[in-house]
Structure 1
Amino acid sequence: MPAAPARHRPTGLAFALASALAFGGSGVFARPLLDAGMDSVHVTWLRLAGAALLLLPVAVRHRRLLTRRPLLILAYGVFPMAGVQALYFAAIARIPVGIALLIEFLGPVLVLLWLRAVRRTKVPPAAVVGVIMALTGLVLLLEVWAGMRLDALGVGLALGAAAAQAAYFLLSDRTGEDAEPLAVIAFGALTATLLLLPLARPWNLDWGLLATTTALGPLPLPGWALALWLGLVSTVIAYFTGIAAVRRLSPQIAGGVAYLEVVTAIVLAWVLLGEALTPVQILGAAVIVAGAFIAQTAVPAAPHPPAPAPADPGDPAGPDRPAALA
């Protein structure tokens, strides 16, 4: 049974912000590859395979984790890494992107329901309010009413992505001190890469695109540099800081703060790709930030160490004499 993690708001919030920034930039750095003609599933597979390759030495070093926590490794590869990606891309093939993303980000809501109904855990009111506010802000940010074309299977796939996202928060909190986070990510990426192999069929990938220079806004970058960013920053660093945030904030609170990922993605697209925000989207972003702020207040402040007892003047081991000589 893994030991219960120690909660710590300042460092947890710092990791959560870093994770949101790393995750949020994935779409922006993938856009030039998509515009160059690379299939979205191929981009996803490159991202996971790149992370697996970068972390291969970590996996070799921590190979005993395969026998010590096999279910954790399998679950992490199936749900947070392969599941979210595959189900989300399958969903946007049938329903609008904004609606699919909104449904996927029901994940933190599912976390709250799981903790309350299944684990019988008391959920802080601030976490509930923060998640509801963030979800409301997401509706405004995505302007989902602009494309209300629903398909039952598409909605079901998006709900599957939401469940996989919820599993990410819950599994990250259960890694325990005996499972190095980078090792969990390494084996998860390897598992996801193999699972998505039949779907991605990388042997059909146009590998020449990685040597082609593409434009990220005003910046000309080779395709391999974009793929490296997706593997290193948007996967390795994003998941590592995400696990660290969940362990320090708790799944329900980290889920509320994770909505900042969408704000980061929209702002980066605005800055680097020139995709301007409407007034309603700016309002939605502000509501998400407010919800994330409220959610993180549910983490209790770190307890201060007890003050040392005042020395007894009559005690020979007083302030001027070492206790060892008493």
Structure 2
Amino acid sequence: MPVHTSGTRQDGAGKGVGLSLALASALAFGGSGVAAKPLIEAGLDPLHVVWLRVAGAALVMLPIAVRHRALPRRRPALLAGFGLLAVAGVQACYFAALSRIPVGVALLVEYLAPALVLGWVRFVQRRPVTRAAAVGVVLAVGGLACVVEVWAGLGFDALGLLLALGAACCQVGYFVLSDHGGDSGDDAPDPLGVIAYGLIVGALVLTVVARPWGMDWSVLTRSAPMNGTPVAAWVLLAWIVLVATVVAYVTGVLSVRRLSPQVAGVVACLEAVIATVLAWVLLGEHLSAPQLVGGVVVLAGAFIAQSSTPARTDGEPVAGGTASGAERELSARGTAA
């Protein structure tokens, strides 16, 4: 997917603002699973929660889509791929995984995406990757083995883990699309426009798949238990739509306009930490010491993979793992995870 950042990177105060926006984006994305899981446990189907999230965010972003109404004619395949993979695929798989496994585990499995992207670059595109990037992949896979407790025959629901892995695979498609047209310069589509139309496409696809007309709408009029504390369902939904989607995407895009993709990608790694801590505090989902160590190793591997990219030459795609940086360039969640 084309990536276009206008203007030059700012120093001093500008970088401080960029880091603050990137952190705000990680906080917003990290809270999506914590707010969604009580709704799922209260009786909403995971697909219905995804549809509510994406459709609500699409309505909020509709004015931006109108502003960039020429974009569908210029890049129809790009918007379709973004909507199917980055929006519908990632969110559907991630939220479905939440109904079966803890939030932190789902998100850490989704963070295999940078490793999978390197596999795509090495074995599908047949381009070399850096040694540090390969080390990052090994660390990420080893840390994931600790998170899912392979020595216990997988300590979590197998289908839930497969759904989380599906979210990671959808993010691979997202990242591969992110590399298309990156050398288009001023002709590259505006990231906000791509996000707006991606949400619209995702909402249309999810409407067919989720069939919201069969949803139990009464759940939204009741409260949902969050670790024993009742919270109004509409408050949780408002958080998911306005904060965990709209604010998260917009602050992420604005942060990348002030930072390099590598710096924004490093800050993005905090999303998994934030989600795990929030799930621990708000949902009571405690992880064991080996799982916590494994989570740290996964994030370290993702960090190394993302920060080990060699300098990019004109017209040559990046071959070292700046997947999360490209993600923040466009939308600031993975996933799915």
Q: How would you bin the TM-score normalised by the shorter chain?
A: 0.7 to 0.9
Work out which of the residue numbers 269, 276, 288 in structure 2 matches 1:266: 276
Q: Which residue of 1 aligns with 2:84?
A: 78
* Secondary structure of the corresponding residue to residue 189 of structure 2: coil
Residues 1:297 and 1:40: Cα distance change in structure 2 (over 3 Å): closer
d(CA) in 1 for partners of 2:162 and 2:287? 29
Q: Which residue of 2 aligns with 1:186?
A: 196
Work out which of the residue numbers 47, 61, 69 in structure 1 matches 2:75: 69
Larger Rg, first or second structure (1 or 2): 1
For residues 98-177 of structure 1, what are the structure 2 equivalents within 5 Å? Answer: 104-119=110-125, 121-146=127-152, 148=154, 160-174=166-180, 176=182
Q: Which residue of 1 aligns with 2:34?
A: 28
TM-score, normalized by length of structure 1? 0.72
Asked whether the equivalents of residues 56 and 241 of structure 2 are also in contact (C-alpha less than 8 Å), the reply is: yes
d(CA) in 1 for partners of 2:197 and 2:245? 13
Q: Which residue of 2 aligns with 1:212?
A: 222
Q: Is 1:199 aligned to 2:205, yes or no?
A: no
Shift of 1:268: 0.9
For residues 9-28 of structure 1, what are the structure 2 equivalents within 5 Å? Answer: 18-28=24-34
TM-score, normalized by length of structure 2? 0.70
Pick which of 66-75 and 14-23 moved more. Answer: 14-23
Q: Which residue of 1 aligns with 2:333?
A: none
d(CA) in 2 for partners of 1:257 and 1:126? 19
Shift of 1:187: 0.8
Shift of 1:134: 2.8
Please list every run of 5 or more consecutive structure 1 residues that lacks an aligned counterpart in the other structure: 302-326
Shift of 1:242: 5.7
Asked whether the equivalents of residues 5 and 173 of structure 1 are also in contact (C-alpha less than 8 Å), the reply is: no
d(CA) in 1 for partners of 2:35 and 2:157? 29
Pick which of 131-140 and 150-159 moved more. Answer: 150-159
Matched-pair identity in %:
52
Residues 1:264 and 1:180: Cα distance change in structure 2 (over 3 Å): same
Q: Which residue of 1 aligns with 2:290?
A: 280
Name the count of aligned residue pairs.
298
Q: Is 1:222 aligned to 2:232, yes or no?
A: yes
Q: Which residue of 2 aligns with 1:249?
A: 261
Q: Please provide the CA RMSD for this pair.
A: 4.2
Residues 1:39 and 1:121: Cα distance change in structure 2 (over 3 Å): same
d(CA) in 1 for partners of 2:150 and 2:131? 27
